[in-house]
Every structure is written in C-alpha cells, then in structure tokens.
Structure 1
Amino acid sequence: MVRFSPLEWPVFRQLRSGDVTGRGPAVTSAKTRATAPRTTTADRVVQSVCPYCAVGCGQNVFVRDEKVVQIEGDKDSPVSRGRLCPKGSASEQLVNASGRATEMLYRAPRSTQWQKLDLDTAMDMIAERFVEARRKHWQDTDEAGRRLNRTMGIVSLGGATIDNEENYLLKKLFTAAGAIQIENQARI
C-alpha cells in the first residue's frame, strides 16, 4: 500500500504548481493522469453508419482485439458531421449487450421446443422458403389475359432501423423477385 502524503493534497499541489484557480493539472489525481481514452488504445478504426434510423449518420467504430470498444460520430461524414443522437451515441451497447442474441432459434411447426441453429442452416432454410413461396404463388397473367409476372406469396415490411441504402437494396431484391407488396415503416 502506498502511503499518502499531505503534500499531495490538491490545495498544496495548487500552491506548488502555480495553478491558483485549481482548474489545471494541480487538481488531477495520479489515477486520472494514468487513464487513457478507449479510442487511443484501439487497434483499428472502422467507418460505419448508425443502424437506428434512415438518416445514415456516420460512425467511427473503435476495435481492440476484434471487439468493439467505442463508437463515436464520424467528423468526416457529410450527413452528421461528427454528431450522433442519444441512440446513436449508445450503439456500442447494442453491439456488446450481455443479453444480445448471438445464435438462431427455430421452432418447428406445432412444436413446443426451440432448437438452436447455426447461421448457415438458418439462411439456407429462409432462402428455400423464399424460393418455394415465389414459385407456389407466381402469377403469369390475370383472368383477362394481361401479363402480371408477380408473386403474391412474398411480402416485405421494412423498418426504420436500416439506412436508406439498405432499404433501396431490399426494394430492388423484392421487386426483382416479383413481389409487389413492399412497404416500409417510414411510410406507415
């Protein structure tokens, strides 16, 4: 245990250092001086976009040992110029939350139990069902013989937690698949 000297009290440090107002280095403790921001200890910085709304604010994601340690506004972003809303500022908690689901859960029809699936299996199941729904509900023409080329078996309801570019790509994907029932939360 380090013995504390009264000469290290802030008022004595103020007088010794000439920091008479007590607003400079005289009032900082050794622990405070030894503390470094998480952003300076990061291995790399990755530019990203805030996931919460369709504004598309730029973010700098600070990564150390392949783990996100801090997320801040990107000053170079023409959209947000380094500013983030309260939700965007807290997006590091979205990534590192202890309650975050990290594996896929699947409940088979008429089952009462959930089973864990790896991501590849879950993606394959979704793709197979997507293609099957498209094939099963495809309409070439209507009753009058007019060309339709659409499917009524696929519906898309987008959310505001994805940015404009992702919404654009989803619209293109579903339109290319022949779906016509495409909606977004931002319009509702």
Structure 2
Amino acid sequence: MGWGDLLGRWPVWRQATGADRTGRGAAARSAGTERLRPRVADADRVVKSVCPYCAVGCGQNVYVRDGRVVQIEGDPDSPISRGRLCPKGSASLQLTTGSARESGVLYRRPYGTEWERLDLDTAMDMIADRVIRARRDGWQWTDEDGNRVRRTLGFASLGGATLDNEENYLFKKLFTALGAIQIENQARI
C-alpha cells in the first residue's frame, strides 16, 4: 500500500484535496461510519406523542418494533420543541421500558420498615375504603358562617408532571366530584 492510498484514507486529506471542503460529507466518511445504522432504522412504525414531564408539551417520536417501544426522540415537526428535548424528555424511554421501573404495587404498613407486594385488587380496595372514610369524616355541609359548601377537607390531590393533560383533567373531575377542593398539579408548582 502506497502513501497515496494511506493519505486517501485520512479524512483531513480528503477534505483538503476533495470537493467536500466543509468536511460534512464524503470527506468525513470512513469504513466504520459506512457500517453505522440509525438505532431506529428497524422500527415498524413511528407514533407521534407529547413528552409527559411538564406542561410545555414538547413533541416526541415514539419508535415501535413488534409492539414494543424501542426509542423515543424529539419530533422535528413539533412547532413547540422543533425536535429538541430536555434531559428528562430525552430519558422518556426509561419511563416506559426501563429496568428500574416499578410495575407492581408496593405497600408499607404504618410503622413498617419494609415494603411488601400487594395484588392490584387488594390495593384498590384499600384506597377506595380510605377515600370513602376520609370523605365521610371530613365532609362539611356548611362553613362556619352557615354558607352551604358541600365539600371535604379530608383529602387532596397532587397530580404528577408525568401525567398528560387528559389524565390531569380526569383527576380534577374525579376529585371535584368527590367534593375535594385542594386539587393541584406538580407541573404548575
């Protein structure tokens, strides 16, 4: 192999002597770059979505293969974020498929030091019983001035920023129907 062949492999030489003076095209390509493939190349479909973390509403492209989410990236067609995501939004894949994501119900008894697993039906019954009891025990028909208020101060709702607008809307409707007046969302705080 001669010097001409060696120099021809060197990207700086190709940039200086070739037509690609900016070094963003053929001059920058190597055998290694030619073998690279986009990590979303074998996705079956792309689903448009919105980042769940805050109220900005950055657009996301969710890449799906065989019914599973394989990658989440910023949507360049989004007029809000133009394909950019903050560090939390960039980590959305971990929220959906991360190995550290808890997928079962954990419960720690009062004064307990360890978490225990519960089945979903048991946990839902416990929650329903507590909501009914708190609503009944904290119900107010009238305030101290005799005004009719029909409310409960027995519980409150604090929605999470990982919920989308529709989910937070449904929580607001549910807690309002239950008579709660302390209803807030973490994304607004």
Which TM bucket (shorter chain)? 0.7 to 0.9
Q: TM-score, normalised by structure 2?
A: 0.74
Q: TM-score, normalised by structure 1?
A: 0.74
Cα offset for 1:71? 1.0
**Alignment partner of 1:179: what SS?**
coil
What is residue 94 of structure 2 aligned with on the other side?
Answer: 93
Using the aligned pairs only, state the percent identity: 65
Supply the AA of the counterpart residue of 1:151: T
* Alignment of structure 1 residues 32-181 onto 2, 5 Å: 32-142=33-143, 144-181=145-182
- Residues 150-175 of structure 1: per-residue CA shift (max 9 Å, x gap): 11111122344444444333222211
Cα offset for 1:43? 2.0
Instruction: Supply the distance in 1 between the matched residues of 2:111 and 2:85 (Cα, whole angstroms).
Output: 45
How many residues are paired up? 181
Contact 1:56–1:164 under 8 Å retained in 2: no
Unmatched segments (≥5 aa) in structure 2: none
- Residues 23-75 of structure 1: per-residue CA shift (max 9 Å, x gap): 44465344432322122211222222112211111211112234322111223
Call closer, same or farther: CA 1:176–1:122 in 2, change over 3 Å: same
Larger RCO: 1 or 2 (CA < 8 Å, sep 6+): 1
Contact 1:55–1:163 under 8 Å retained in 2: no
What is residue 11 of structure 1 aligned with on the other side?
Answer: 7
Unmatched segments (≥5 aa) in structure 1: none
Instruction: Supply the distance in 1 between the matched residues of 2:120 and 2:2 (Cα, whole angstroms).
Output: 60
Contact 1:54–1:161 under 8 Å retained in 2: no
Call closer, same or farther: CA 1:55–1:124 in 2, change over 3 Å: farther
**Alignment partner of 2:181: what SS?**
strand
